[in-house]
Amino acid sequence: MTRVIDRAKSKMIGEQILNHLFCYRRLWSETDPCAQEPCSSCLVPHLQKIESFIEQEKPIHFVLPAFPAKSPNKTKVLGSLPDMGEKISLQFLQSLCVQIQDFYAPGAQITICSDGRVFSDLVCVNDEDVTAYGKELKNILDDIGADAINIFNLEGIFAGLSCDDIRQKLVLNYADSLETIRCRVKNDPNERNLFNGIHRFLFEDYLFLQPSKSRNRLRNESKKSAYGVIQRSHAWSDLIAEQFPHTIRLSIHPQPVHSEKIGIHMIKTQDAWATPWHNVAVYDGKQFLLMKRSEAESMGASLVWCNNRPSHFILSDTPNSPLQE
């Protein structure tokens, strides 16, 4: 029979875990008082779920929609497969689960909800590249011994369907209308922030992929796609909530301090919105950080190859990166 931990102890442990997790929070505003000193309202959206795992002495289960596929914009990334940016990020997630064992012996597990299939047609990524990216992610997890991480994707729900049919099923079964999405973006600051971030990414990529079109036309096309990305993002979130109703939700996007999602930094960035699949990893002699490929090249950084493909950059006059091999 499972031994049940008393409520007072589970609450104390839950607060310790959340305060540790919040050290890595990705927030809209780093100047908010709660960014430095999380208040009780920061803990409330997550504490009861964490307590429930603790009281049952089960590993705390987090879900993270992330690791979709590489951006098709080669001014941002090195190629279509995961590289050092993904490797470091996955190592961080694994280490975070291990760190939680310092507060709670059963530790934690993270389900990465890989969402490349959800958006690939909108972000100009081939479904073949999504598949190859996902396979390489699993190879990296095996290589680093990430036994606390597993991957979930749309194919696991809509097995046997074509990629286009899978996306149609997602929208049909879980999505709000685009009109509803536009209304939310117009009236909700949180949605507007999300829209602006996604629109910026898409506009940059469309400029690279379709240089013959005018900026105004591409801005309008990327705006339309951004609404579609948000529509499917919410649909994906609802599907995840249905599949994992008791988990704690992590996010790679910046979040408000009292959000029901915990935005999380997996690797140091120059931009609060930066991710490994939109950037490259650059070693500056002390640590890795994310930046656009064009920025790394303009700084004179040297490209490092691993396993016969480009992996990351090191800045000039710095020691070789510790994870080069």
- Which residues are CB-contacts of 205 (< 8 A; sequence separation ≥ 6)? 71, 72, 73, 76, 123, 124, 222
Cα separation, 185 vs 196, in Å, equals 9
Question: pLDDT tens digits, residue range 215-230?
Answer: 999 999 999 999 999 9
* Per-residue pLDDT, 324: 47
* Per-residue pLDDT, 319: 60
Question: pLDDT tens digits, residue range 280-291?
Answer: 999 999 999 999
Instruction: Write the CA distances from 14 to 5, 24, 101, 104, 313, integer angstroms.
Output: 12, 16, 12, 9, 39
CA end-to-end distance (rounded Å), the chain: 46
Cα separation, 167 vs 23, in Å, equals 36
Tell which residue, 75, 65, 27, 67, has the closest CA to residue 291: 75
| pLDDT band, residue 205 (cuts 50/70/90) | very high
Query: In this predicted structure, which of 54-63, 94-103, 130-139, 308-317 has the lowest mean pLDDT?
Result: 308-317
Can you say whether the dihedral through the CA atoms of 149, 154, 157, 158 is positive or negative?
negative
